[in-house]
Amino acid sequence: MLMLPEIIVVVTAMAVLVADLFLTERLRMGVTWLSLAGLAVAAGAVFATPMNGSMFGGQFVVDAVGWWFKLFFVISGFFTVLLSMDLLHGRTTCRMRGIGSPGEYYTVLLFTISGMMYLVSARDMVLLYVSLELATIPLFALAAWRREDIRSGEAGLKYVIVGALASAFILYGLGLIYGLTGQISLDAARVLKGSPAFWFAAAMLTAGIGFKLTLVPFHLWAADVFEGAPMPITAYLSVASKGTGLAFMFQLFFRMMGGWVHDWALMIALFAAVTMTLGNCVAIVQHNIKRFMAFSAISHAGVFIMGFLGPHDYGVPAMLFYLLAYIASTLALFAGIVWYSNETGRETIRDYRGLSRTNPLMALAMMLALFSLAGIPPLSGFVGKFFLFSVAAGAGFHWLVGIAAVNSTIALYNYLRIVREMYIEPVHEDGPAAPASWSLSITTAVLTTALVLLGIIPFFYNAINGSTIAWLSAVLPH
């Protein structure tokens, strides 16, 4: 049963919604357990599905790349639930007003995960578009979840408007392609000749992807939405919107316009250069940790798309591996940020001063995550970045490698600002934060271990690499 993981996620979402109606306040935790269990079973189901197969006459297909994406989505969903539970059930020192309704929250979260999972399996335009909206629309609601906070409402509204604009671009592009081929199948577009209409459609689709993946100049929504959303949703956005954007880009660039990726390479390289440079440079002046993370996420988008440039047998596994490393590092860092915000309500970078003295383990974990994001060896972020840079170099974009490597230095400066507050500055005068709850401790421990080991043990990369070779020969004509 190929669709089993998706079905499990959707059924869990329904079950959470219904259970929420019947559970008393005392047993409200049940919805959390249910969501966690559902996502864990879904992860198992993803493992159990084969890496190739199709349903509904080829409209729903599981392949190696889709398989990995689904696994990443379910895992990030699982950890997001762990990050959210303290806040939703009011078990934090610093109560955030207006946040609650855990049942509905988890339902909405699970729906966006299911949308992301359908997205990677879709093989026709309609299913692709519908699942993209299923992945995005619940996020609008989640961004606006802090009902009494005006910034959260602003985030939601901004996200809706920009999301609608992105959808318009995508629909225009898809519509043009449909007009050219007369078919809704994604693969049909690959035989198209390079007509003006085709290139116009490609430009529209690139812009749409740009919004989802926060490529400059389509990144403007990110900082405000990240800042307004509740902290766990900020975490989820920074991994999920990246993952969805990347999956969507895989679908369009490899599957739909597979024959044309090479002609698009220079533009991708320019996007990558501008995106990472602007993201890193603007992050220098950010003080709020959420806005800081938004620009960090933007700059990483630039790093990700370097994988589309070069020899695809390197590019595809490199992008998937870096996504895995990025998810582990970002969520590990956010576990620390969520914990600190939960216990103290502090959200600026200056507020992290002296953390290494008061909570040495949490500070260590956050430092490792920051260094991994900055690409410092031997952490997984370094290995992933190294592979992606290598892809760009393989395509002859040596100037881009230079820009990217210099950008890594700027990024390191940014991340060192936080490390400096934690390790060098004196302790915060308002006193230390309470120790982390078990859920955040587990999340931090597991993800920090993962971000260290992923880069050292070659198993994970080899597994991704081994399974995508067949995918490439099937998808890309050589």
Residues that bind another protein (CB under 8 A): 314, 317, 356, 371, 376-378, 382-383, 386-387, 389-390, 392-394, 396, 398, 401-402, 405-406, 408-409, 412-413, 416, 419-420, 423-424, 458, 461-462, 465
Question: Which structure tokens are listed for 64?
Answer: 């190696």
Q: What is d(CA 239, CA 224) in angstroms, rounded to the nearest whole number?
A: 16
Nearer to another protein, 268 or 383 (CB): 383
Residue with smaller CB distance to another protein, 78 or 371? 371
Question: Minimum Å distance from CB 304 to another protein?
Answer: 18
Residue 368 Cβ vs another protein, minimum distance, rounded to whole Å: 12
Shortest approach of another protein to residue 63 CB, angstroms? Answer: 19
User: Which amino acid, one-letter code, is at 9?
Assistant: V
Rounded least distance, CB 402 to another protein, Å: 5
Q: Which is nearer to another protein, 159 or 387 (CB)?
A: 387
Alpha-carbon torsion 313, 317, 323, 325, what sign? negative
If the CB atoms of residues 201 and 412 are measured against another protein, the closer one turns out to be: 412
DSSP 3-state helix, strand, coil percentages of the chain (rounded to 5)?
80, 0, 20
Strand partners, 53: 62
User: 377 in helix, strand or coil?
Assistant: coil
Say if CB 397 and CB 475 are below 8 A apart.
Answer: no
Could you give the CA distance from residue 100 to residue 246 in angstroms, rounded to a whole number?
Answer: 31
Alpha-carbon 428 to chain mean position: 32
Write down the least CB distance from residue 35 to another protein, Å. Answer: 36
Cβ–Cβ under 8 Å, residues 156 and 141: yes
DSSP helix/strand/coil, 219: coil
> Among residues 53 and 466, whose Cβ is nearest to another protein?
466
Find the shortest distance in angstroms from Cβ 53 to another protein.
25
How near is the Cβ of 152 to another protein at its closest, in Å? 35
The SS3 assignment for 288 reads strand
Q: How far is Cα 350 from Cα 341, in angstroms, rounded to an integer?
A: 13
Instruction: Give the phi and the psi of residue 285 in degrees, each rounded to 5.
Output: -100, 10
Shortest spacing between CB 416 and another protein, in angstroms: 6
Phi, psi of 335 (to 5 degrees): -55, -45
Query: Which letter, b or e, does each residue of 19-45 get, where b requires 16 or more Cβ atoms within 10 Å of its Cβ?
Result: bbeebeeeebebbbebbbebbebbbeb
Closer residue to another protein, CB minimum distance, 47 or 413: 413
Choose between 18 and 270: whose C-beta lies nearer to another protein.
270
Nearer to another protein, 93 or 462 (CB): 462
